[in-house]
């Protein structure tokens, strides 16, 4: 009987005590964990291969977490959980805007980080289970979803998406012409309890519209149904 390999996690943080704590804690919970103390060490670690997820501190010496996230997004859609000692909403929004998939303010409990990390990894698995539904409906307008490569293509050219943006689009495309509530999308994409005022889905929809809509302010593909949620219309009609 064969067992699956453990998920590989890279922890990037300049605090040696926190770094060692996360390496030990995640390791005891079944992950294969490596670590780095700054951007240079992170890039060196990535030469051995892209991990399944990265836990990345915002405040790092040299290149900070925002700059590293931007650079990572050019190369990969690897899930990124960003950490920061600053919990202001603006920092969280900026982190998500540049491509992080989730954001956790310090201090935090290791159990919460573990839950969020597992949720990020489950999202990719959930997307894979929807691939059959996507096969028949993976094209809309000039776009197509590469469900194996987890990519969005426009006229054959890749559109840069974070893993969270791809998963949101995949969930919408798999349920065309059907309103999906914010709660449904949060449950599908994140899998852990959220703040009732969490606007991450709305922020992610806004970023997606900028990338696929001809007029993001008057969306044709991802439409808002007031008081209900979002509706994906593959024909691109506006109502």
Is residue 85 located within the same domain as residue 141? Answer: no
Of 36-40, 75-79, 185-189, 203-207, which has the strongest mean pLDDT? 36-40
Q: Report whether the peptide linkage leading into residue 107 is cis, meaning its omega lies within 30 degrees of zero.
A: yes
Q: For position 85, which CATH number holds?
A: 3.40.50.2300
Report the alpha-carbon angle 202-140-189, nearest 5: 35
Q: For position 135, which CATH number holds?
A: 1.10.10.10
Q: What span, in angstroms and rounded, lies between the C-alpha atoms of 116 and 163?
A: 14
Choice between 66 and 184, residue whose per-residue pLDDT is larger: 66
Number of folded domains in the chain? Answer: 2
Report the chain's mean pLDDT, rounded to a whole number.
83
pLDDT tops 70 at residue 79: yes
Picking from 171, 108, 146, 71, the residue whose alpha carbon sits closest to that of residue 54 is: 71
Q: Pairing state of beta strands 222-225 and 229-232? A: antiparallel
Is residue 97 located within the same domain as residue 15? Answer: yes
pTM of the model: 0.60
Is residue 159 located within the same domain as residue 111? Answer: no
Q: What is the pLDDT of residues 124-172, one digit of tens each?
A: 565 555 555 555 447 888 998 887 777 899 988 889 888 778 888 988 8
Picking from 75, 117, 81, 74, the residue whose alpha carbon sits closest to that of residue 96 is: 81
Is residue 94 located within the same domain as residue 25? Answer: yes
Picking from 122, 135, 128, the residue whose alpha carbon sits closest to that of residue 187 is: 122
Q: What is the pLDDT of residues 28-53, one digit of tens each?
A: 999 999 999 999 999 999 998 999 99
Give the mean model confidence (pLDDT) for residues 174-183.
87
pLDDT tops 70 at residue 230: yes
Residue 237 lies in a domain: no
pLDDT at 195: 46
Backbone angles phi, psi at 201, to 5 degrees: -65, -45
pLDDT tops 70 at residue 178: yes
Choice between 18 and 197, residue whose per-residue pLDDT is larger: 18
pLDDT at 136: 44
Helices (H), the chain: 16-28, 39-46, 65-75, 89-97, 110-129, 131-135, 163-173, 182-189, 200-212
Residue 62 domain boundaries: 8-125
Which among 125, 149, 174 is the end of a domain?
125
Choice between 190 and 148, residue whose per-residue pLDDT is larger: 148
Q: What are the contacts of 218-223 at 24+ separation with CB within 8 A?
A: 221/140, 221/141, 222/172
Residue 238 lies in a domain: no
Give the mean model confidence (pLDDT) for residues 2-26.
89
Residue 111 lies in a domain: yes
Is residue 103 located within the same domain as residue 167? Answer: no
């Amino acid at each position: 009987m064969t067992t699956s390999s453990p998920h590989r996690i890279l922890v990037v943080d300049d605090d040696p005590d926190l770094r060692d704590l996360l390496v030990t804690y995640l390791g005891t919970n079944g992950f294969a964990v490596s670590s780095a103390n700054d951007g240079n060490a992170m890039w060196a670690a990535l030469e051995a291969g892209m991990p399944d997820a990265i836990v990345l501190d915002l405040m790092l010496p040299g290149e900070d977490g925002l700059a590293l996230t931007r650079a990572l997004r050019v190369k990969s859609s690897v899930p990124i959980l960003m950490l920061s000692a600053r919990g202001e909403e603006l920092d969280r929004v900026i982190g998500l805007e540049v491509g992080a998939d989730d954001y956790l303010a310090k201090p935090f409990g290791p159990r919460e980080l573990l839950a969020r990390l597992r949720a990020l990894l489950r999202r990719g698995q959930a997307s894979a289970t929807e691939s059959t539904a996507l096969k028949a409906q993976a094209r809309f307008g000039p776009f197509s979803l590469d469900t194996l490569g987890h990519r969005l293509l426009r006229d054959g050219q890749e559109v840069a998406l974070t893993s969270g943006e791809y998963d949101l689009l995949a969930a919408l495309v798999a349920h065309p012409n059907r309103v999906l509530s914010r709660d449904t999308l949060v449950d599908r994409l994140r899998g852990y309890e959220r703040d009732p005022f969490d606007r991450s889905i709305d922020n992610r929809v806004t970023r997606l519209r900028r990338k696929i809509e001809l007029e993001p302010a008057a969306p044709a593909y991802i439409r808002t149904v007031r008081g209900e949620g979002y509706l994906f219309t593959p024909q691109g009609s506006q109502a």
